[in-house]
Structure 1
Amino acid sequence: MIRYTLRCAKDHHFESWFADSAAYDKQAKRGLVTCPNCGSTKVEKSLMAPQLGRTERQKSSRKKAATPAVANEASPIAMMSDGERELRTKLKELRDHVVKNATDVGAKFPEEARKMHYGESETRSIYGEASFDDAKALHEEGIEVLPLPVLPDDRN
């Protein structure tokens, strides 16, 4: 089992357990990982530090230590492999291409996608916002949609 610290597009932080890294990737890809606060399926792994086993001596000395100052508190961190870095670059290129070449319809995305699918409006590339339930309903109607990747670098 692996515990991930996760963050949604609205910057809600939460934790969840998965059988392994592949299980998280599979569930996230299918839109099954959702924020418990807002229901967003735009969820990504947040930086986190591994939990290492400690000796009894380290555990007892840590209990005796004074509360650390905010600046000295541990924060979650991770190292990216070359493959992860390349994947992140490709996802950013994909997202940038969509944003550059499509129309942002915002919260009207489900409505606009249906109009185009059923021939009520001209077909064009669009992007916007949809709840998990809206995206699922669109998929069930045969309307092809996919989540637009949001990367942590976008918030810096």
Structure 2
Amino acid sequence: MKVLDLKCAHEHRFEGWFASADEFESQLARKLVACPVCSATDVSRMPSAPRLNLSSARGDAPAPAQPPHAAPEAAALQARALQFMRELIEKTENVGERFAEEARRIHYNEAPARNIRGVTTPEDAHALLEEGIEVMQLPVPASLKEPLQ
């Protein structure tokens, strides 16, 4: 089993587990390796020090020290962002493509007030803002759109 340090084009760092280096290259070429934060498939391998457990062979040599994690602050920030997104998804109603219509109905008291999320065009979002309806663009990572295994 190969454990690789990876990063996407947006500098999100993550770990990938593959049966072999060839399997990683095969999956990468087929765009099957995706960032768990933003779903980007433009992924590259990060340099990492191999861990060679030779102490059992020689009996006296200590195992090499593991390098410190490259960016613990970034990992913690990603974890907090994913937790925020999970809570947002749990506490809002997905109205899908009807977002602009439903936001207007709520704003003009034609529908019950509630927290909603959905999809709209940039033009519709701008029109909502001009009407005084507060909206916020928040891209949801694809990994949160599916149930977690």
Give the TM-score taking structure 2 as reference length: 0.48
The structure whose residues are more often helix, as a share, is 1
Structure with bigger gyration radius:
2
